[in-house]
Each structure stands twice: as structure tokens, then as C-alpha cells.
Chains A and B, each alone.
Chain A
């Protein structure tokens, strides 16, 4: 007799559910989620089958000879191939089944050997250009007022099968400073050794404060402080932390866990893929073109912000306060002339000035303008609108829903015009135009109380 297992139907339900999710909420990064969480399908499968078998055993029913049949192992193998490939394709790693994992299998047969790199120092101009080439490892670059030289020192880790091989690799990869005109090249020579050996370096580099820094890395973090020139970083995978930079900053990464810049006098230009972004006290224009999936915190930006993402586009003249972007949410406080366009976001904005323009496909919008209400234009296809207006302020409001309820908690001079399915709140005392529209959802207009100028859950600025 062939007993039915619950696993088959569950897998069908799961696949159907995933497709439904994709159809109903296309903005959910389903591929990313599947690519990262597919191993849990194996765990759940194994767990359910284990429970099933134990239940059969307790109820003294016949137990199948194999808990997981040959065909099922084939399916597991397929899931591993597909899941591993998806994980690889999303830049998480380099090769199946767990990318890092397979490379790790090769490398972990070896041992790791540590060496101290002989410190090198060379005089250079006050505004010299420091170039770090083809670097693998972490580098800390600090500008110093008194320095008239570039000084580099650090440690190197070699992963290899034999100590003699590691010693040889260490000899082949000396730390060098090469002067070419105004340019000082910091060379680790890591590309000289074969692929079977992996060398990484931890460098501490001191440069004159007027220097510019250009770094090209493969993997590893860059930590740059107190440099008055420009900073230009490109890497396959890096965390970047910048503090007190006098010039422009350009960061282009294929993958990153964090990009943090605090105190930049020039413009900031970010490109590529990554997770968290923290920008604070930026005096130049901020331009971001890429995909950042983590927590994004922007505060005190003196010049315009241009953020272009596949999910959201934000343009803002100035951010004296802060903006926070997380998965499916956007919170801002004290922003000037904000224009936002997104597919799906819940939006909370307080204390904004000059103008506000929001266009959404889907999402709830909660607005709390300050005392001086600016011109507001909001369109969403689906989502609730809530507007809290200070008492006694001047405005000319028209807030409508095509399908849904309206609540006029503000009272006079606003009035409600109801139609067949939707309704409109209109009225005002003359002043800036407030135009809010939702295709489907509730509209609420109410009086703002004195203590709610900002949203309580707006994160605090990063501590310096």
C-alpha cells in the first residue's frame, strides 16, 4: 500500500502561494527571498517527513524503507542546483552550491599563515594622489596634518597548503610604494601569486591631509578618515566607511554590506548594489543610482539629493532633517521640496517645506506638514491617506478617494462631497493648494496636535 505523504501537496500549495504573491504584490523581492531562504525548504521538508515517520511509528503503521526516496533525493538535488544558482546570480557569492562554500572547500584544506608586512614610506606632495591597486583585504587610510610622506604598514594572511608555499607567496607579495609624478601607488602585489593561494592584507596607510585617494579592490573594507582631496573607491565587495572628507566622494561597488559617509564637503556619488547606506552631514550634492536593500539613513544633506533605485526615486532640494528608507517604508522629517515616485511604499513625512509631490502605485501615506503648509500633490492608486493640518493654518484642500471612505476630523471650513463609491473633502481658507488622490482607500483629514510634529519612529541620526 502506498501511503500519501503531506509533503507533495504542501509543495504544490507553496509553489501556488509564491506565484500568487508575485501576482498580487509584484514589488516584493521574491527572487531575492527565494535565493536566500531556499535551504529552509529542505529543513522544513526533512522536519515534516521526520514527524510523519514518527507518527506512523507511534501508530504502529508500516514505515517506509526509505524516509526519503530516490526520486525525492533527485528533487532535492534539483532544488540545490536551482537555489544555489539563484543565490549566485544575485551577487551573493561566486559559485554553486553555496559559492563561498565551494571555494571554501578548496581553501579550507589549507592553513592560514600570518606575516607582518615591512613598513614602507616615501615623501610626496601635500596634495598627492594615493592609488591602491587591485587590493584584497581591509585598508585604513588616515590623513594627517603633519605628514609629508605616505606611510604604509600592515599584516598579510596567506592561505595555503604548505608553509613553504605560503612563505614563497609572502616573499612574492611585498608591500611597495611607487611614485609616478604626483601619484603614489600602494601596491600589494597580491595578483602575483597563483589562484590556489589566497592572500589578504590588513593595511594602515597614513597620507598627507591634502591627498586624494583612489582604491580598486576585490574584496575587503575601506576605512578612510580626514582626507581633504577626493575619494574614489571601486570594488567587487566592500564595506566603505568615510569620515571627514574634504573633496568629492565616488563609490562604485558590486556588493557591499555598508556604505557610511559622515562629514563630506564635496558631492557624494554612489553606484552599484549593496545593503545599508548611511550618509550624514554632506555639503555637496548626493547622487545615488543603484540597488540598496538594507536600512538607508540620510541626514543633514545641504545640497540636492537624487536617489534613483529600481523601487523608488527620490528628489529633494535639501534635507536639513533626515530620511529613512527600509523595506517597503519611507520616513522623512524636515525636508525641503521633496518629489518621490515609488511602486509600493508606506510613507510618513513630517515637517516638510516648499513643496511635496508623491506618486505611488500602492501604499499608505501619512503627512504632517509644519506650521507653514507647502503645496502638496499626492497620487496613489491604492492606499489610505492621512493628513494632519495645524489649526488656523491657510490652505486650499481637495482630498478625494474613488473608492473608500472619507473622514473630516478637521471640521470647518472643510466639507465632504460624497459620490457613488468615493468622496471628496474640499475647502480651505485660501493658501497653498493641497491635492490628494487615492484610487482606493480611506482619506482622513484631522487637526494636528502640538506635540506631533515628527514621527516618533523616525530613527535618530548616527552618532559620530
Chain B
């Protein structure tokens, strides 16, 4: 379950960033808010999505215990 939602959160990050980028540029072109004012939204959004990924992934990350060379 966690694995699936981790994958889902990771997969939707691209499309959401794309929609946000398109929306900000469109807003600039139509004179709502300049891209110059709104661009930090992209960074914030990326951060939030990364955070969400971590939150969803945490239980899995703890399960395998020490990672890396443990397979030897």
C-alpha cells in the first residue's frame, strides 16, 4: 500500500509541476500576476511534493533497516 502511494506521489510530481508552470505563464500573459512575482510558487510546490513523498515513504524506509551494502 505504502509502496503504491509512494510511487503515485512520485509519478504525479511531474504532471503537477507542468500544470503549475503552464498556469503561471498563462497568468502572466493574461495580466493576472506577473511570472516575475509568482515563480517562487514552483519551488514551494516542488518542496511540498518532495515532502509529501518523504511522508508517504517513511514507513517503508524504516523497514529494510540499514540499506546499501546489507545485501552482501
**Residues of A in contact with B (beta carbons under 8 Å apart):** 36-37, 39-47, 49-50, 53-54, 57, 60, 63-69, 72-73, 76, 80, 87, 92, 97-98, 100-108
B14-A67 in contact (CB<8A): yes
CB-based nearest A residue for B29: A36
A100-B11 in contact (CB<8A): no
Taking CB atoms, residues of chain A closer than 8 Å to B22 are 39-46
Q: Within the assembled complex, what's the spacing in Å between the Cα atoms of A97 and B12?
A: 25
Q: Within the assembled complex, what's the spacing in Å between the Cα atoms of A92 and B25?
A: 13
B29-A63 in contact (CB<8A): no
A101-B15 in contact (CB<8A): no
Does B2 sit at the interface, judged by CB under 8 A? Answer: no
Q: Contact check: which of B8, B16, B35 meets A104 at CB < 8 Å?
A: B35
CB-based nearest A residue for B21: A42
B19-A101 in contact (CB<8A): no
Which residue among B10, B14, B19, B21 has the maximum number of chain A CB atoms within 10 Å of its CB?
B14
Contact status of A57 and B17, CB under 8 A, knowing A40-B26, A108-B34? no
B11-A104 in contact (CB<8A): no
Chain A: minimal CB distance from B33 (Å): 10
A49-B18 in contact (CB<8A): yes
Binding site secondary structure of chain B: helix
Chain A: minimal CB distance from B70 (Å): 22
A43-B22, A45-B22, A49-B14 are known; give 10 further A-B pairs, CB within 8 A: A39-B21, A42-B19, A46-B14, A49-B15, A63-B7, A67-B15, A72-B14, A98-B28, A98-B36, A100-B36
A87-B29 in contact (CB<8A): yes
Taking CB atoms, residues of chain A closer than 8 Å to B18 are 42-43, 45-46, 49, 68, 76
Chain A: minimal CB distance from B32 (Å): 12
Q: Within the assembled complex, what's the spacing in Å between the Cα atoms of A108 and B36?
A: 7
CB within 8 Å of A: which B19-71 residues: 19-23, 25-26, 28-29, 34-37, 39
Q: Within the assembled complex, what's the spacing in Å between the Cα atoms of A323 and B18?
A: 44
CB-defined A-B contacts under 8 Å, sample of 23 = A37-B26, A39-B26, A43-B19, A43-B26, A45-B22, A46-B14, A46-B15, A46-B17, A46-B22, A50-B15, A54-B12, A63-B4, A66-B14, A67-B16, A73-B14, A92-B29, A98-B25, A100-B35, A101-B25, A101-B36, A102-B35, A105-B39, A108-B36
**Which 3 residue pairs are nearest across A and B when measured between Cβ atoms?**
A104-B36, A68-B14, A42-B22
B26-A100 in contact (CB<8A): no
Taking CB atoms, residues of chain A closer than 8 Å to B15 are 45-47, 49-50, 53, 67-68
Taking CB atoms, residues of chain B closer than 8 Å to A50 are 12, 15-16, 19
B13-A67 in contact (CB<8A): yes
Q: Within the assembled complex, what's the spacing in Å between the Cα atoms of A54 and B35?
A: 29
Q: Contact check: which of A36, A57, A68, A107 meets B4 at CB < 8 Å?
A: A57
Q: Within the assembled complex, what's the spacing in Å between the Cα atoms of A97 and B23?
A: 13
A47-B36 in contact (CB<8A): no
CB-based nearest B residue for A109: B36
Taking CB atoms, residues of chain B closer than 8 Å to A65 are 7, 10-11
Taking CB atoms, residues of chain A closer than 8 Å to B34 are 98, 100-101, 104, 108
Chain B: minimal CB distance from A161 (Å): 15
Taking CB atoms, residues of chain B closer than 8 Å to A108 are 34, 36-37
Chain A: minimal CB distance from B24 (Å): 8
Chain A: minimal CB distance from B55 (Å): 17
Q: Within the assembled complex, what's the spacing in Å between the Cα atoms of A101 and B12?
A: 27
Chain B: minimal CB distance from A6 (Å): 13
A101-B28 in contact (CB<8A): yes
Which residue among A53, A63, A73, A76 has the maximum number of chain B CB atoms within 10 Å of its CB?
A63
